Structures are given as C-alpha cells and as structure tokens.
Structure 1
Amino acid sequence: MEKERCGWVTEDPLYIAYHDVEWGVPVKDDRKLFEMLCLEGAQAGLSWITILKRREKYREAFDQFQPEIVSKYDETKVEQLLTDEGIIRNKLKVRSVVTNAQAFLRVKEEFGSFQSYIWKFVGGKPIVNHWKSLEEVPAVTEESERMSKDLKRRGFKFVGPTICYAFMQATGMVWDHTETCFLAQSKN
C-alpha cells in the first residue's frame, strides 16, 4: 500500500526521499543550516525540485557549503560560478551565497554557533503544527517575518519571510506535515 504524503510531493523519487527523510527533521549542524539557507535563497522564484535536482552540483560548486571557504570567494570565483551549468546562474543569487557566508560567520562569532542564533526564533524547539490540508499551511508566519528582518539587518541576502519560512520547514524548526501524511500520523 502506498504511503500518503504531503500534497506538495510529486512522484519524483528524489522528492519522495527528501520529504520522507529530510523535510521537517530538526537540523542543528551549522554547515547544514548554511547550506539550506543558501539553497532556499537559490529557490526564489523557482520550484524546490529545480534546486533539489541540482543540490549535489551546488555542493561541489560551493565547496560543500563551508562558510569559512565561501566567505573568501573573490570576483574571479564568482565569475567562474556564473559559468557552471550545474547551478542556477543568477548573478545576485550566486553573490548572495558569498555575502551570506560572511554574515553567517559574524553571527557564529557573536552567538558561538549559527544554530544557537537561528533556533531562538522558535524558542529552541520545533513548532509542531497540525494542518488538515496543504491549503492551511502558511507561506509566512510571525516567526519567519522576525527571522527575515533580523537576518537582513545582519547583512544576509535572499532571506525574505517566505524563504525564511521554507527554511524553517526544511530544517525542522516547524513541523508542517499535513495530518493525512504518514509522517504526521507517526508523530501523533
């Protein structure tokens, strides 16, 4: 019998695996949080599957999203990345990864870790929602608006409230599996 999943999941095996194994699972690892923030920013105006299919290429292109390395990219490296057909070659999005790496390291310096900073927007533990249908799931919340505003103030780019909420969902800061999803049923 086929498992019932959230309504946004397609039949694509990559999407199914992402939903079943990653989406909504709390992430506390700084490098992984940086990666997800960058990938969510890359998604702006596109579908998540577009980015998910390129995730391995993004990891290769951006040195496994090691912020200490990415923060030192110069204009030559940015121009090189803009020729990489494995990633979305949008100049603003590519530059934002470098800018975000620099901002990320400043936050890490201030708070001891990025996860200490970012998880404060949900009080340190996941917000568990009980949505009946995909239509009930918001695109923006008060928490994502606060996060967006604070990230922007700290110099981050491509971190609007909708991107922040998608980031929160992806990294398990919020649990948004709909009630009919087999994962939500396992949590009850």
Structure 2
Amino acid sequence: MSDDRPRCAWAMRDPLECAYHDSEWGVPERDPRMLWETLMLEGFQAGLSWTVILRKRENFRKAFAGFDPLKVAGFGERDIARLMNDAGIVRARAKIEATIRGAQIYNEMQANGENFGAFCWAFTDGKPLQGEGVHTETGLSRAISKELKRRGFKFVGPTIVHAWMQAVGMVNDHAPDCFRRGEVAALG
C-alpha cells in the first residue's frame, strides 16, 4: 500500500481496495444517481468479492449507459443478450434484470416526486451514523432492505444493504484505529 497508516483490515489485501478505501469508502454520498448506482453494484457483488466489482466498475458503467436510470429502464431483451455476452461485467441474468427493474423503480420514485437520495438518507435522519465496523447487517439495514424489497428492488438483502450503507457513508464503519475514521466522520 502507499503508506503505513493504519487502515481497515480489508483494505490491506489489494492496492485497488486500498485506493478505494482511502478515497471513496464511507464518504457520504448524496447524489441520488450515485446512490442508486452503488446499490446496483452491491447487488452484482452478491456471492463475489468487492474487488471483482471494483475491477469491473468502469466496464459496468459503459455496459449500463453510465448508470443513467432513464436509459437503463428502457433496456430490453436485446440489451440483456448484449450484457450476457459482455465479459467485462458479471454476467448474471437475474442481476442484470434486477438492475433494469431497479432503474424503473428509481424513475417511478422520481416521477412521483420522491428523490431517491432523500429516501435513502431519511433512514438516518440525513446524518451519517457512527458504526462499529463489526456488523454485516443491522436492524437498520434489515428495515431498509424490507422497504426496498417492498418497492420491488432485488438483490437488496440486509447484508448487501449494510455494505451499501458503508460504501455510501450512511454509516461510518471504518475501524476505530483506521486513519480514515476521523476524516470521514468530519465529512458528516
């Protein structure tokens, strides 16, 4: 890694993970589209390591039209076939279809005057929670998962939702001795 500052243990395995940890993970994200993109990528991660998704993230962005929900919502069978043949992404039909449906739900929310970012952050009263970095799911991630599923989202179980909450800074789960914990807390 680039230096010997204390980090979360998971960020010490791979230079890409380290760079992601040091610059993105846990930083409060408010942009609705980015929150949706990250939730969709977390869904693709199910059963895989996050490193796989990080390595393919730019390919995912190209394949899914920059994660533009308006464009992705219109994907049909021809697009699904194209994506299933794209070695640059995770080729799982159920996850591809879930992303398309997720875009449709996102757009429905927006059309009904419900901002996806405001929806997400309402669960924490608009403020990042200071976590302990030891949970894979919490009561809050179970509640958010339940609401996302009720709306029709797929691949949003409590563990995926908790990982997403960590990634987008809804919860600061940097280890107590990690140099980023205080930095990220100050961003809240």
Residue type matched to 1:46 in 2?
L
Corresponding position of 2:116: 114
Q: How many Å separate the matches in 1 of 2:141 and 2:155?
A: 13
Q: How many Å separate the matches in 2 of 1:170 and 1:181?
A: 15
Q: How many Å separate the matches in 2 of 1:176 and 1:144?
A: 13
Of 136, 139, 143, 2:140 maps to 143
Q: CA deviation at 1:34?
A: 1.3
Q: 1:163 to 1:72 in 2, by over 3 A?
A: same
Corresponding position of 2:165: 168
Q: Which deviates more from structure 2 when the two are superposed, residues 145-154 or residues 106-115?
A: 106-115
Q: Which deviates more from structure 2 when the two are superposed, residues 11-20 or residues 48-57?
A: 11-20
Of 120, 130, 152, 1:155 maps to 152
Q: How many Å separate the matches in 2 of 1:159 and 1:138?
A: 16
- For normalisation by structure 2, the TM-score amounts to 0.93
Q: CA deviation at 1:185?
A: 4.3
Corresponding position of 1:21: 23
**Runs of 4+ in structure 1 displaced over 6 angstroms?**
none
- For normalisation by structure 1, the TM-score amounts to 0.93
Q: Does 1:90 align with 2:92?
A: yes
Q: How many Å separate the matches in 2 of 1:185 and 1:73?
A: 42
Tell whether the 8 Å contact from 1:103 to 1:156 is kept in structure 2 after alignment: yes
* Deviation sequence 1:17-50 (CA, Å, 0-9, x none): 1101100001111111111011000000001001
Residue type matched to 2:103 in 1?
A
Q: CA deviation at 1:10?
A: 2.9
* Structure 1 gaps, min length 5: none
Of 77, 80, 83, 1:81 maps to 83
Corresponding position of 1:55: 57
Residue type matched to 1:127 in 2?
L
Q: How many Å separate the matches in 1 of 2:128 and 2:113?
A: 20
Residue type matched to 1:10 in 2?
M
Q: How many Å separate the matches in 1 of 2:182 and 2:149?
A: 36
Tell whether the 8 Å contact from 1:107 to 1:117 is kept in structure 2 after alignment: no
Q: CA deviation at 1:109?
A: 2.7
Q: How many Å separate the matches in 1 of 2:102 and 2:24?
A: 23
* Structure 2 gaps, min length 5: none
Residue type matched to 2:46 in 1?
A
Give the 3-state SS of the residue equivalent to 1:156 in structure 2: coil
Residue type matched to 2:165 in 1?
M
Q: Does 1:40 align with 2:42?
A: yes
